[in-house]
Amino acid sequence: MPGIPSPLLLAMTGLLMFIFGAGDSSQGDEYEFKALYMMNFVKFIEWPENLEPAQKDSITIGIIGQNPFGDATKAIDGKVAKDRKIVIKQFANVKSLESCDILFIPATEKANLKEILTAVRGKSVLTVGEHEDFASHGGIVGFYLENNKLRFEINTDNAADANLKINAQLLKLARVVKKSDAAPESKPASAPAKDKEVKEVKKP
């Protein structure tokens, strides 16, 4: 009957809730959850099919700038997701940035966000961040805390621009944002006009 989810859909929804619903930051390291989330994003996101042969065998998760994960990424490094091996790479800055499939941009890189996003523009890179409104300001997936639980938002417009297809079931668990949701950038106030010089007019 229409409107009644199939057993497969229910099972998939239950799996997603299990994978992404346990991010209680009070019960573990926040970055352990973020690392696990990124690994599981791979299962619900499609990258373009025209990948190089070497890329088809692995998923590279890059971390740019100061690495807040510590040893947390050891739990996913070398694991397999969607038949592709997870590889973790660290990039000191945007100049050292190399090819990757997922790029985590920590809050400490907020000042460099525009430069980083420009560097990956036009490439199929899933950008993941953690500072406020990340997904509304050019990023694709933004982590945030709600009632001490780790949540995420997804900008579907930015994902489409990167030629990434996101599974509808994953979107159901996310807060979906659009480019139109971004707050307009504040423009600097224009300098006050200089007072016109008043010339003394001599009477004839």
pLDDT tens-place string over residues 56-87: 799 999 999 999 999 999 999 999 999 999 99
SS3 2: coil
pTM of structure: 0.78
Give the model confidence (pLDDT) of 2-54 as tens digits. Answer: 443 444 444 444 445 545 555 555 445 889 999 999 999 999 999 998 776 66
Name, in order, each residue with C-beta under 8 angstroms of 74's C-beta and a sequence gap of 6 or more.
Answer: none
Amino acid 188: pLDDT: 46
The C-alpha atoms of residue 43 and residue 30 are separated, in whole angstroms, by: 21
Q: Looking at domain 7-180, does it have CATH number 3.40.50.2300? A: yes
Query: Does pLDDT of 126 surpass 80?
Result: yes
Q: How confident is the model at residue 165 (pLDDT cuts 50, 70, 90)?
A: very high
Query: Does pLDDT of 121 surpass 90?
Result: yes
Cβ atoms of 135 and 154 closer than 8 Å: yes
Cβ atoms of 81 and 126 closer than 8 Å: no
SS3 188: coil
Q: 3-38 b/e with 16+ CB inside 10 Å = b?
A: eeeeeeeeeeeeebeebbeebeeeeeebbbbbbbbb
Cβ atoms of 142 and 135 closer than 8 Å: yes
Distance of CA 47 to the CA centre of its chain: 15
